[in-house]
Amino acid sequence: MAELIIEGGRRLSGRVAVEGNKNAALPLLAACLLTSDTCELRNVPPIRDVAVMLDLLRSLGAEVEHVDRSTLRITCRDIRASEPDPRLVGRLRGSVLLLGALLGRTGRAMIAAPGGDFAARRSITVHLRALQKMGAVLVDRPSGHCLEAPDGLRGASMYLLEASVTGTETALLAAAQARGTTEIRNAACEPHVAELCVFLQSMGARVEGIGTSTIRIEPPARLGGAVHTLRGDYIEAASWAVVGAVTGGDVEVTGVYAEDLEPIAAVLAEMRLEFELEDQRFAVGPSTLVGARRITTGLWPGFPSDIVSLVTVLATQASGQTLVHDWLYELRLFALEQLSAMRADLFLCDPHRIIVSGPTRLRGRLLDSRDIRSGMALIAAALAADGQSTLTEVETVERGYGDLVERLRSLGAEVERRED
| Catalytic machinery residues | 117
Interatomic CA distance for residues 401 and 414, integer angstroms = 18
Given a contact cutoff of 8 angstroms between Cβ atoms, the answer to whether 257 and 279 are in contact is yes
> What are the φ and ψ backbone dihedral angles of 258, each rounded to 5 degrees?
-60, -40
> What are the φ and ψ backbone dihedral angles of 395, each rounded to 5 degrees?
-55, -30
Q: What angle do CA 71, 72, 75 make, to 5 degrees?
A: 155
SS3 content of the chain, % helix, strand, coil (to 5): 35, 25, 35
Look up residue 154 and give its DSSP letter.
Answer: B
Cα distances from 185 to residues 188, 199, 216, 395, in angstroms, run 9, 20, 9, 37
Residue type, 270: E
Ordered DSSP codes for 283-333: EE-----B--EEEEB-STTSB-GGGHHHHHHHHTTSBEEEEEE--S-SSGG
Q: Crossing angle, helix 98-106 and helix 48-60, to 10 degrees?
A: 20
Interatomic CA distance for residues 116 and 125, integer angstroms = 17
The rounded Cα 72 to chain-centroid distance in angstroms is 19
Interatomic CA distance for residues 410 and 403, integer angstroms = 11
Task: Return the bridge partners of 232, or none.
Answer: 20
The rounded Cα 266 to chain-centroid distance in angstroms is 20
Helix (H, G, I), strand (E, B) or coil at 140: coil
